Amino acid sequence: MSLFLEVVSVSEAVETVRRIAPLPGCEEVPLEDALHRVLARDVRADIDIPGFDRSTVDGYAVAAAETTGASEAIPAMLQCQGRVGMGTADAGVVSRGTCLYVPTGGALPGGADAVVMIEHTEQIGDDVLIHRPVAPGENVVFRGEDFGAGRVILERGRVLSPREIGVAAAVGADRVGVAKMPKIGIVSTGNELVPVVETPGPGEVRDANSYLAGAFVTERGCHPVYFGIVRDERAVLKRAIASALDRCDAVLVSGGSSKDDRDNTAAVIAELGKVLIHGIALAPGKPTIIGTARGKPVIGLPGHPASAFVVLVAVVDHLLAAMRQTAVSWRTIPARLTQNIPSARGREDYVRVSLSGGEATPVFGKSGLLNTLVQSEGLVRVPASSEGFEVGEEVEVILW
CATH number at residue 159: 3.90.105.10
- Is residue 205 assigned to a domain? yes
Domain co-membership, 299 together with 310: yes
Cα dist. 387→337, 346, 350, 384 in Å? 15, 9, 13, 8
Cα dist. 329→173, 218, 314, 321, 400 in Å? 27, 15, 12, 9, 12
Domain co-membership, 371 together with 250: no
Last residue in a domain, options 297, 324, 351: 324
Pairing status of strand 296-301 against strand 289-293: antiparallel
Alpha-carbon span 198 to 311, nearest angstrom:
27
Domain co-membership, 40 together with 156: yes
- Is residue 293 assigned to a domain? yes
- Is residue 4 assigned to a domain? no
Instruction: Determine the number of helices (DSSP H) and then strands (DSSP E) in the chain.
Output: 8, 28
Domain co-membership, 312 together with 204: yes
In this predicted structure, what is the pLDDT of residue 259?
Answer: 55
Domain co-membership, 287 together with 269: yes
- Is residue 5 assigned to a domain? no
Residue 197 contacts by C-beta under 8 Å, 6 or more apart in sequence? none
Domain co-membership, 304 together with 235: yes
Number of domains in the chain: 4
The pLDDT of residue 4 is above 90 = no
Name the residue range of residue 371's domain.
332-399
- Is residue 1 assigned to a domain? no
Domain co-membership, 158 together with 288: no
User: What's the average model confidence in pLDDT over 159-169?
Assistant: 96
Residue 187 contacts by C-beta under 8 Å, 6 or more apart in sequence? 227, 228, 230, 237, 240, 241, 244, 251, 252, 253, 254
The pLDDT of residue 262 is above 50 = no
Residue 65 contacts by C-beta under 8 Å, 6 or more apart in sequence? none
Q: How confident is the model at residue 366 (pLDDT cuts 50, 70, 90)?
A: low
Please, where are the H alpha helices in 228-332? Answer: 234-247, 265-272, 305-311, 317-324
- Is residue 146 assigned to a domain? no
pLDDT in tens, 282-319: 999 999 999 999 999 999 999 999 899 999 999 999 99
pLDDT in tens, 237-251: 999 999 999 999 999
User: What's the average model confidence in pLDDT over 228-245?
Assistant: 95
User: What's the average model confidence in pLDDT over 251-269?
Assistant: 77
Residue 6 contacts by C-beta under 8 Å, 6 or more apart in sequence? 278, 279
Considering the entire predicted model, what is its pTM?
0.83
The pLDDT of residue 151 is above 80 = yes
User: What's the average model confidence in pLDDT over 60-79?
Assistant: 97
Domain co-membership, 185 together with 173: no
Last residue in a domain, options 179, 197, 227: 179
In this predicted structure, what is the pLDDT of residue 6?
Answer: 83
pLDDT in tens, 76-132: 999 999 999 998 878 899 999 999 999 999 999 999 999 999 999 999 999 999 999
User: What's the average model confidence in pLDDT over 204-210?
Assistant: 94
Alpha-carbon span 398 to 379, nearest angstrom:
5
What's the CA dihedral at 369, 375, 378, 382 to 10 degrees? -50
Domain co-membership, 37 together with 159: yes
The pLDDT of residue 53 is above 50 = yes
Q: How confident is the model at residue 367 (pLDDT cuts 50, 70, 90)?
A: low
